[in-house]
Amino acid sequence: MAANRERVFVSETDAYLFGNGTHYDIYKKLGAHPSVEEGEKGFFFAVWAPNALAVHVIGNFNDWDEEKCPMTKLNDGGIWTLFIPGIEAGVLYKYCITTEDGTKVYKADPFANSAELRPGTASKTADITNFHWTDGRWMNKRGKKNPNQQPIAIYECHIGSWMKHPDSGDGFYTYREFADRIVEYLKEMKFTHIELIGISEHPFDGSWGYQVTGYYAPTSRYGTPNDFMYMINKLHTAGIGVILDWVPAHFCPDAHGLAKFDGKCIFEDPDPRRGEHPDWGTRIFNLAKHEVSNFLIANVFYWINEFHVDGIRVDAVASMLYLDYGKRDGQWLPNKYGGNENLDAIEFFKHLNSVVHGRDPGFLTIAEESTAWPKITASPEDNGLGFNFKWNMGWMHDFCEYMKLDPVMRKGDHNGMTFAMSYNSAENYILPLSHDEVVHLKCSMVEKMPGYRVDKYSNLRLGYTFMMGHCGKKLLFMGQEFGQEREWSEERELDWFLLSDEQNSGMKYYFSKLLEMYRNYKCLYEIDNDWGGFEWINANDADRSIYTFLRKCPSSRKGLMFVLNMTPVKYEGFRMGVPVNKRYKLILNSTDKQFGGFGDTPVPEIIRPKKGLCDFRDQYIEFDLPAYGGLVFEYSY
């Protein structure tokens, strides 16, 4: 492809659109790109530094000389450009920026497609135009289905700690090596998507990628941009979607990054009451500035167009929507109406979601929003923010708090597990059990559970059954599918050795069967956001801590009935009302021995109803309900 290079340049139109906040392909002009001028091959460099007195490109190609390669200022918009012949991919470089007071600052390229491996802080030239994609079938299908009516089961994953390489210095598998391992695992487990955290370049491993310096650079920890493309291509050809954790709320304050980029605050607000997060020590994007909004929106299109990414999970949305988020009196400024709503962030999200979904209707935007801000997933035309889905943080909190309780205390919090259905129709939800729930002394999912070890695994299988039956798409952080017992740490791999234990191997197998069920039954995903897809049989059996409910959908003649006994008490001759006078087929039992259960309370595979009033219904079924039993029955309408 290098032989077919075309000349790259920034036109007056490019500068105008960027200044207007509507140049969604600006990443093809700003940054460093293979180019040709007057028959000579090289790289074209362009950077936005409106307050600079001078800008020079320095790197290992010119011995980091601060005078050899001066850039030319295009116009008053502040874009500087330079073509340097003879440069190929893989060269380290930075911008030496002379500020208004004559000081020199040394900055990585905000639009760089590759970066030096930490602790180095330079950018690296890259050619991202020569990868041969073979995922056309996946890409053609992506926009033709309504995501609200499709199964979405997401595996949240951190590449560097999923599995450690025994022969590399950092223990990292490359994107290519990781792809070869993760694809087979995800297919075995039946996940539909993988969500990757820590992909945009960041300097500190312990930030998990939530303090970014290179928004346009897949982290060099695991290889090159082409390696990253290989991974996505392989996932797509295996039928697995790719979602990236995306962090537009704040950015890393490190000296080589975006903070005070040209000696002044061009990416952040200069007033710390608007421009800094006091608790996080990070800088806040100034979304009132068109160029900054354009930088972020174009970044989403960069991941879509250049890497075929299928969605973004937007981190810390609440911190963007509220001007006083995490701040005390005196640390924030109200909006022009005197309120705490960030009007620029509201407009930014409407703009982002409108243009992204307008251009690529199959692309998913997912909000991690921790408050009750209304209409997160409503359309901008309906005065919503336009996201496809919102993480149901309330459900996650209530679920974890309930499951942690000693079973004898659960009856006192019975409504904690039913409450989420009272607001289920407010948004399109994803039920997350994310990395945030298994760090900072919160314990892993299995260690949250009460009782002896065998009780913990029984409880967790039961909890996952409830999660799979509840309305909402699904997300689980890596390792929790097999009962990882230690909290997650980015410094070590998951405890794969646990799979030699029957409780862990049973848990892994059970979760795969739950996902298989989820994907095979339309009633579990086709109607997630209204009562047409869900019906309580008995939501109020608090004394026995039992939940019974139905999942259903009009396009299928098959529904599922869930029976969940949240205590270690076996109920002989348990009766429950059923919706129709037809047979009920047991398709999943969390207490089976193959899953690590005791298997000491047989449940008939087929149960036929008896006439009689129960749970306000005209027929009931009767069977022995196992202790900590999570049962799923199939029935026909």
Residue 254 is encoded by which pair of tokens? 């490190």
Pairing of strands 241-246, 92-98: unpaired
Q: Which phi and psi (to 5°) does residue 206 adopt?
A: -70, -10
Give the residue among 434, 435, 457 at the shortest CA–CA distance from 446: 457
Alpha-carbon separation of residue 543 from 408, 413, 461, 561 (angstroms): 9, 11, 22, 21
Dist CA 32 CA 284 (whole Å): 25
- Catalytic hit among 127, 262, 268, 315: 315
Annotation marks residue 368 as catalytic: yes
What is the longest distance spanned by two Cα atoms in the chain?
Answer: 91
Could you tell me the CA-to-CA distances from 304 to 176, 243, 365, 589 in Å, in that order? Answer: 20, 10, 12, 41
Give the Cα separation of 390 and 460 in Å (integer). Answer: 24
- Give the span between the Cα atoms of 379 and 571, in whole angstroms: 47
How many CB atoms sit inside 10 A of residue 16's CB?
13
Residue 281 CB neighbours (<10 A): 11
Question: Does residue 135 carry a catalytic annotation?
Answer: no
Q: Is the dihedral of CA 296, 298, 303, 308 positive or negative?
A: positive
Please identify which of the residues 201, 344, 368, 485 carries the catalytic annotation: 368
Give residue 531's identity as a one-letter amino acid code: W
- Number of helical (H) and strand (E) elements in the chain, helices listed first: 13, 29
Look up residue 71 and give its two tokens. 């850039």
CB 608 within 8 A of CB 528: no
Under a CB-based contact definition with an 8 Å cutoff, are residues 473 and 153 in contact? yes
Residue count (the chain): 637
Answer yes or no: are the C-beta atoms of 133 and 229 closer than 8 Å. yes
What count of other Cβ atoms lies within 10 Å of the Cβ of residue 177? 18
| DSSP for 507-561, written as a single string | HHHHHHHHHHHHHH-GGGTS--SSGGGEEEEEEEETTTTEEEEEE--TT-SEEEE
Instruction: Give the residue numbers marked as catalytic.
Output: 315, 368
